[in-house]
Amino acid sequence: MTTRTEQLPVAEDLFTWPPGDDNPLRLIGSECADCGLVSFPAAPACVRCASTESKRRLLADRGTLWTYTTQDFRPPSPPYDGPEAFEPYAVGYVELPGELLVEARLTEPDPDKLRIGQPMRLTLVPYTVRDDGTEVVTFAFTPAEEETS
């Protein structure tokens, strides 16, 4: 393959884009200026103290798997806009220590290869391709052990 596919993030200000050496991949959350509650996606108003003052916060890119499940049937479209040819995927909550638990796709679709407490690392996955060939990417977590193998 020689053609470089263009990529776009599924939403603005959801994660750092485009990620690179000087702009490492992180989820973009917010932190309440009054009570410190961390939110993702970034929230204009705090659900703990109702403050409307918040600041941008880049979240940790590593955590542990708190729970998970699989998606073995194609979700209803809309709102799902993944490819017609459905590939099952997994979903989980990853605990980012001291910050929050975030729901995300997991790159490992086999439930037998996932376990609660497993170290996970943030990554991006192209989850669909538009008619013009543009890949749309979203955030996901991948088992961190894969790195050392």
Partner 1 sequence: MTEAVIIGVGLHPFGRFPGKPALDMGADAVRLALADAGVNWPQIQGGYIGSYEVANPDAIVGRLGLTGIPLRGVFNGCATAGTAVALAARAIETGEHDLTIAIGLDKHPRGAFAADPSVAGIPSWYGQTGLFLTTHFFGMKINRYMHEHGISHETLARVASKNFGNAAANEKAWRRTPLTPEEVLASPVLNYPLRQFMYCGPNEGAAAIVLCRADQAHKYTGKPVRVRATALRSRRLGAFEVQSPSFPVGEVVDSPTVDASRAAYESAGIGPEDVDVAQLQDTDAGSEVIHMAENGLCKDGEQERLIAEGATAIGGRLPVNTDGGLLGNGEPIGASGLRQIHEIVLQLRGAAGERQIPGTPRVGYTHLYGAPGASAVTILST
Q: Which of 77, 96, 99, 94 is nearest to 86 (CA)?
A: 77
141 binds partner 1 (CB under 8 A): no
Query: Which of these ranges, 18-26, 50-58, 93-101, 141-149, lies near partner 1 under the rule CB under 8 A?
Result: 93-101
142 binds partner 1 (CB under 8 A): no
Using an 8 Å Cβ cutoff, are 72 and 86 in contact? Answer: no
Using an 8 Å Cβ cutoff, are 93 and 82 in contact? Answer: no
Query: Which of these ranges, 18-26, 50-58, 77-85, 141-149, lies near partner 1 under the rule CB under 8 A?
Result: 77-85
- Smallest distance, Å, CB 38 to Zn ion? 10
Q: How far apart (Å, rounded) are the C-alpha atoms in residues 5 and 13?
A: 22
87 binds partner 1 (CB under 8 A): no
Query: Which of these ranges, 16-24, 50-58, 101-109, 141-149, lies near partner 1 under the rule CB under 8 A?
Result: 101-109
DSSP character at residue 82 = S
Q: Is 116 exposed, middle or buried (0-12, 13-18, 19+ CB in 10 A)?
A: exposed
99 binds partner 1 (CB under 8 A): yes
Phi, psi for residue 117 in degrees, rounded to 5: 95, -10
- Interface with partner 1 (CB under 8 A): 10-11, 14, 29, 37-41, 47-48, 66-73, 75-82, 89-93, 95-105, 111, 116, 127-128, 136, 138
- Interface with Zn ion (CB under 5 A): 32, 34-35, 37, 46, 48-49, 51
